[in-house]
Amino acid sequence: MSDARFARQVRLPGFGERGQERLAAARVVVVGAGGLGCAVLPTLAAAGVGDLLVVDDDRVETSNLHRQTLYGVDDVGRRKAEVAAARLSATAVVERVTAANAPALVAGATIVVDGTDDLDARYALDDACAAAGVPLVWGSAIGFAGQVGVAAPGAPRWRDLFPRRPHDGALDTCETVGVLPSVCTTVGGAMATEVLKLLTGIGTPLTGRVLVFDAAAATVRAIAYGAADDQGTSGDEGTMADIEEISPAETADLLRSSADVTLLDVREPWEAEIAALPGSVLIPLGELPDRIGELDASRPVIAYCHGGVRSLRAAHALQDAGLSVRSMAGGIDAWSRTVDADVPRY
């Protein structure tokens, strides 16, 4: 294949004509034609991906235009998938992704890209891709921060990062907190890079790691993670009615008063690398049954996690073991929102 359009990428070490042929033969399904999709789609189309599907049921709104660069004022009210597909010679699929239709959308794909802001769609795509053995490249962007990851056969999945769906009330959206447009560009570019790497075989894919980008602090970190011990799906599961909860503000007051308590973090190590409360003891929930003896049984425990679900389960186990324990409602995410905004959110 000799095409001057691709000359500068074909000459890259390990890319070559064979890599270009793989791009031309690939079928890439991009779910979400918003801020991330508008960065991913033009890059993949320009690189020579042969079959691009754009999946989105949303319409263009004026508030989208600062970051969704495939659209203009004249496109307001039109279907995003149809506008994007027409401009990129791609195929539009005007559907909202659900657990019911995700397997059909994934079928036949070489790679699936998830740029949605819909958690139900993300879990559905993760399940469908895992069942079909199709790599999933995902990303998120909100405020000044973004994340990118790759779920591939034999590697940790999206569910391994977030085994249980957070409660809707714990989630921010672009509508509520905003988003810096260049964050979408940066995160979408990284997602497109992962797709090109997977398709051509160059470089090391971002499997088993999550790339965390903080535009405000100008930092980028790649944090390793492994398979989760529990891959539940509902944020309501595991809630124990007999466990006493304590708010982040009340917890902060106790810590400021130097109360004799143990602050127990039951998240995974990769989460603690992103954000953790000072003085806390890290024992992941899956390891807790074997490590309860490490805790001082004479001291009350305040357990916390990301959104308050795992800490309830941990508190139940500690209560059964005879310890005095409370669970911090809303987890470290609520702490970031209500106590200390300098604690990074993820």
The residues that are catalytic are 174, 305
Structure token digits, residue 343: 């604690």
Task: Convert 57-67 to b/e letters by CB count within 10 Å (16 or more is b).
Answer: ebbbeeebbeb
Distance CA 248, CA 281 (A): 17
Count Cβ atoms within 10 A of the Cβ of residue 191 and give its class: 0-12 exposed, 13-18 middle, 19 or more buried: buried
Residues 126 and 151: beta-carbon distance below 8 Å = yes
Closest residue by Cα to residue 46 from 148, 186, 196: 196
> What length is written for the chain?
346
Give the full edge-to-edge strand order of the sheet including 281-282: 245-246, 325-328, 301-304, 262-265, 281-282
CA distances from 223 to 116, 118, 148, 201, 274 (A): 22, 23, 11, 22, 8
Written as six digits, the tokens of 291 are: 């490590």
Helices (H), ranges, 48-204? 80-88, 102-106, 119-132, 158-161, 174-177, 181-200
